[in-house]
């Protein structure tokens, strides 16, 4: 017996196949091209830095309905999670008068995460830790609580109104791309599907929000000045970087006329000496890391002073995002890097995870010397506690998930540089958001 509906469907099948398969193939091609444009460096040779101090504290609050019946596993076993009423207002100084970077981590599964991994189509496989097999999600539920005030609750529509007709650009390394993706996910849900788009380029990735005539952008410049690891084919961490200390205008031309500029440079500064190209030559010299870092930041500061109109553009500099390469730093002598870490570092008030404080001090001094206003986003100390928030073995370097054999070798393959999303970069954006909306 023939069924009319089935006959009609089979007549259309060749047409559907001809139309759909090329589209799917083209989409797959674009994604692969993108992962080649912005791969995440392996940094397997990275040596932990040796200087650090810390002045923040971790507080445990909230309830956990998904794990352990209201308990979460910390480095010392289980700790109780106390209920938080998210509607309660926490009093304190206004954000403008408060040090929002000194405080404590509060477990809060009422207001965090700010979005769901599966609800943000713009996340790359590099950061989708749950989709990639991570079995726990506690790392998504920690909220940063400043000591003397409270951060304003994130309001995507309020931020987008601030950004209406404007451009916001993250400039720097893959950590800042991490943060750019976070910001995209924090705002994209209030924009109609047909009024938003994401485009990828060799140096600039752009999230367009037509509803607001605004863009969120990321520009690849891991040293801010020019280097041999700028081209897309040189970003996998296997090439020793060679930098041009004073060559910044080529990158800087892409930063002009941007309304919010957020800069960073750190994770590629991983050698005690840096290769610096001689002026007018193809030869290079090796100079002390701190001297090169200071010289680069001075070149960057000079560019900012000469090219930024402070009445139009707000400039931010993010301090270094820490790595967690040695579990002995947080007294886990049996651990391997950040592997299997599920909670922030607890019960350690003075912490050293190997962050290079000498470079941090240089960044503070150079940014303070600028002749135009600059907002210093001091994310280092608060982030040092978050050993739990890295992509670890649930990353996808080069767009490919780790094999079972690679996962069994976390000492080599665990990524304790980059961060899962939702996760810690959302907090960085909450701090950035507080600065933006407080501006008149």
Active centre residues (catalytic): 174, 415, 418
Half-sphere exposure of 123 toward its Cβ, with a 13 Å CA cutoff?
Answer: 26
Distances (CA, A) of 317 to 202, 266, 306, 376: 23, 12, 17, 5
Spatial distance between the Cα atoms of 269 and 356, rounded to a whole number of angstroms: 10
Spatial distance between the Cα atoms of 385 and 103, rounded to a whole number of angstroms: 12
Spatial distance between the Cα atoms of 234 and 230, rounded to a whole number of angstroms: 7
Q: Which of 140, 159, 146 is nearest to 90 (CA)?
A: 146
Q: Using alpha carbons only, how large is the chain's radius of gyration in Å?
A: 23
339 phi, psi to nearest 5 deg: -60, 135
**DSSP, res 187:** H
Q: Could you tell me where the DSSP H helices lie in 308-398?
A: 357-368, 380-384
Spatial distance between the Cα atoms of 28 and 21, rounded to a whole number of angstroms: 11
Spatial distance between the Cα atoms of 393 and 126, rounded to a whole number of angstroms: 10
Q: Could you tell me where the DSSP H helices lie in 284-418?
A: 289-307, 357-368, 380-384, 404-407, 410-413
Spatial distance between the Cα atoms of 75 and 344, rounded to a whole number of angstroms: 9
94 phi, psi to nearest 5 deg: -60, 150
């Amino acid at each position: 017996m023939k069924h009319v509906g089935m006959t009609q469907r089979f007549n259309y099948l060749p047409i559907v196949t001809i139309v759909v398969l090329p589209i799917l193939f083209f989409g797959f091609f674009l994604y692969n091209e993108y992962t080649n444009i912005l791969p995440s460096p392996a940094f397997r040779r990275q040596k932990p830095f040796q200087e650090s101090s810390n002045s923040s504290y971790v507080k445990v609050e909230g309830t956990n309905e998904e794990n352990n019946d209201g308990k979460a596993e910390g480095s010392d076993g289980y700790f109780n999670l106390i209920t938080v009423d998210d509607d309660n207002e926490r009093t304190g100084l206004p954000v403008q008068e408060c040090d929002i970077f000194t405080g404590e981590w509060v477990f809060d599964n009422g207001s965090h995460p700010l979005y769901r991994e599966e609800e943000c189509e713009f996340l790359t496989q590099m950061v989708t830790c749950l989709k990639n097999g991570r079995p726990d999600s506690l790392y998504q539920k920690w909220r940063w609580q400043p000591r003397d005030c409270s951060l304003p609750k994130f309001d995507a529509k309020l931020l987008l109104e601030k950004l209406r007709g404007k451009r916001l650009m993250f400039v720097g390394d893959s950590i800042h791309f991490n943060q750019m993706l976070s910001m995209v996910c924090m705002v994209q849900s209030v924009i109609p599907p047909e009024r938003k788009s994401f485009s990828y380029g060799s140096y600039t990735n752009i999230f367009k929000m037509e509803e607001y005539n605004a863009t969120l952008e990321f520009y690849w410049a891991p040293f801010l000045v020019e280097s041999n690891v700028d081209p897309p084919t040189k970003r996998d961490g296997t090439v020793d970087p060679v930098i041009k200390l004073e060559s910044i205008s080529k990158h800087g031309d892409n930063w002009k006329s941007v309304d919010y500029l957020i800069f960073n440079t750190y994770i590629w500064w991983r050698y005690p000496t840096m290769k610096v190209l001689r002026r007018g030559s193809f030869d290079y010299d090796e100079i002390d890391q701190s001297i090169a870092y200071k010289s680069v930041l001075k070149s960057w500061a000079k560019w900012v002073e000469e090219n930024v109109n402070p009445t139009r553009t707000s400039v931010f500099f993010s301090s270094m995002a820490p790595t967690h390469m040695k579990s002995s730093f947080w007294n886990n002598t049996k651990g391997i890097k950040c592997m299997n870490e599920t909670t922030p570092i607890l019960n350690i008030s003075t912490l050293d995870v190997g962050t290079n404080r000498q470079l941090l001090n240089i960044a503070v001094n150079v940014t303070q010397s600028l002749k135009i206003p600059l907002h210093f986003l001091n994310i280092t100390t608060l982030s040092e506690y978050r050993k739990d928030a890295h992509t670890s073995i649930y990353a996808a370097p080069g767009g490919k998930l780790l094999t079972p054999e690679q996962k069994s070798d976390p000492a080599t393959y665990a990524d304790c540089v980059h961060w899962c999303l939702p996760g810690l970069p959302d907090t960085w954006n909450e701090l950035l958001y507080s600065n933006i909306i407080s501006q008149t």
